[in-house]
A = this chain, B = another copy of it.
Amino acid sequence: MPEQHPGSRPTLEAVAARAGVSRATASRVVNGGDGVRKPLVDKVRRAVEELQYIPNHAARTLVTRRTGAVAVVIAEPEIRIFSDPFFSQQLRGISKELAAHDTQLVLLIVEGPADFDRIARYLSGGHVDGALAFSLHTDDPLPAITRRAGVPTVYGGRPSWTAGPGEQAVQYVDADNRGGARAAVQYLRGLGRERIAYIGGPPDQTSAMDRLDGYRDILLETDPTLVAEGAFTVESGARAMSELLERRPDLDAVFAANDLMASGALRVLRERGIAVPEQVAMVGFDDMDSVAEATDPPLTTVRQDIEGMGRLMARLLLRGLDRDRTGADRPDSVITPTTLVRRASA
């Protein structure tokens, strides 16, 4: 195969000449070949093959106004982002789905408030056809940015705001946080536990709130001394566990709003010589393989299909873009199911 000399890539013109057809016909063949007679299609295909023709993306974008790329915006001020595999897994699902539709993934990582300017400029610049975003706090400027830029966006996780009147409904993909939490607490109750504590996530994240709601769904009159707030990190889980033990040394079960906090809590219990699950049963949330299986004892937890959620986000966005073109309605948001995975901690 010949080395590509920079700047010498063959053009459609060259392909057309070689195949003995017009540029227009060559273009038709390259784009699917509808309405071109078989022998010509073959000739053009052969020419493409021989010349190693690859369409110039910039030229195509210039006229079609479609970029074939989607931005993935990861905006999260905390360092947490990347020490927890959550985003990575979702990203992977997204990547798979986009690749299957020949769409590129442009990654935008927001490192600080000043970065939003950069992101806004980029999204407004028409570099991408749509965007995928995560983990929004109530006052996140991103939704305003994408709306103003006119970039269709699908969110990962239920946003904390709802669309204003007349605005297109916000599209998102989320796990059934509330249902999963309910299942976890119900399971602990089924085990005969009576003083079930809850280690929650930051109240400005809807996933944390939804899980708390699920907890309350089962424990109708929730005892506030059994509820502690964490920040979805190992450390914060440990701290919350210490607090809880101080307030309620009699607790016999803990439901933590994610695996990382559960692992921190387990560490504290171990340090104090409290047997898990004999004295205190523990259930987490997420089922991150690198965490849930590695704890001591291995963690019973609520599994959500993170990669699947990523894939779904991409699918939703792509389908929406398609429908925009055909004039149909954008598809609805999706809630994916969760399942309880039994291991040794409860």
Interface residues of A (CB under 8 A from B): 1, 3-7, 9, 52, 54-59, 61-62, 65, 67, 69, 72, 81-85, 87-89, 91-92, 95-96, 99, 104-109, 111, 115, 118, 121-122, 124-127, 148-150, 234, 260, 263-264, 267, 270, 288-290, 293-294, 296
Which residues from B are CB-within-8-Å of A289?
A: 83
Q: Say how far A300's CB is from chain B's closest CB, in angstroms.
A: 18
15 contacts between A and B (CB under 8 A): A4-B150, A5-B150, A7-B65, A52-B124, A55-B125, A57-B125, A58-B58, A59-B62, A82-B85, A83-B89, A99-B115, A99-B118, A104-B127, A106-B106, A267-B296
In whole angstroms, how far apart are the Cα atoms of A263 and B109 in the complex?
30
Give the 5 A-B CB pairs with smallest separation, nearest first: A82-B88, A58-B61, A83-B290, A95-B109, A58-B62
CB <8 Å contact, A62 and B56: yes
In whole angstroms, how far apart are the Cα atoms of A293 and B69 in the complex?
39
Given the interface pairs A4-B148, A6-B150, the reply to whether A126 lies near B92 with Cβ below 8 Å is: no
Given the interface pairs A59-B62, A99-B111, the reply to whether A148 lies near B1 with Cβ below 8 Å is: yes
Interface residue from B54, B107, B126, B260 paired with A105 (Cβ < 8 Å): B107
Which residues from B are CB-within-8-Å of A58?
A: 58-59, 61-62, 67, 126
Which residues from B are CB-within-8-Å of A83?
A: 85, 88-89, 288-290
CB <8 Å contact, A54 and B89: no
In whole angstroms, how far apart are the Cα atoms of A290 and B237 in the complex?
13
**Can you tell how many copies of this chain the complex includes?**
2
| A102 to chain B: closest residue by CB | B118
Which residues from B are CB-within-8-Å of A91?
A: 82, 107, 109
Interface residue from B54, B61, B108, B293 paired with A126 (Cβ < 8 Å): B54
CB <8 Å contact, B82 and A121: no
CB <8 Å contact, A3 and B104: no
Q: Say how far A1's CB is from chain B's closest CB, in angstroms.
A: 6
| A79 to chain B: closest residue by CB | B289
Q: Say how far A70's CB is from chain B's closest CB, in angstroms.
A: 11
Given the interface pairs A85-B83, A290-B234, the reply to whether A150 lies near B3 with Cβ below 8 Å is: yes
Which residues from B are CB-within-8-Å of A118?
A: 99
Q: Say how far A288's CB is from chain B's closest CB, in angstroms.
A: 7
Given A6-B150, A96-B111, 18 other A-B residues pairs in contact with their CB atoms under 8 A: A1-B148, A3-B150, A4-B149, A7-B65, A81-B92, A82-B88, A83-B290, A84-B85, A87-B88, A95-B107, A99-B118, A105-B108, A106-B106, A107-B107, A234-B290, A234-B293, A234-B294, A296-B296
Which residues from B are CB-within-8-Å of A149?
A: 4
In whole angstroms, how far apart are the Cα atoms of A88 and B69 in the complex?
21
In whole angstroms, how far apart are the Cα atoms of A225 and B124 in the complex?
61
CB <8 Å contact, A9 and B126: yes
Given the interface pairs A83-B288, A104-B127, the reply to whether A121 lies near B267 with Cβ below 8 Å is: no
In whole angstroms, how far apart are the Cα atoms of A115 and B96 in the complex?
10
Q: Say how far A216's CB is from chain B's closest CB, in angstroms.
A: 30
| A64 to chain B: closest residue by CB | B58
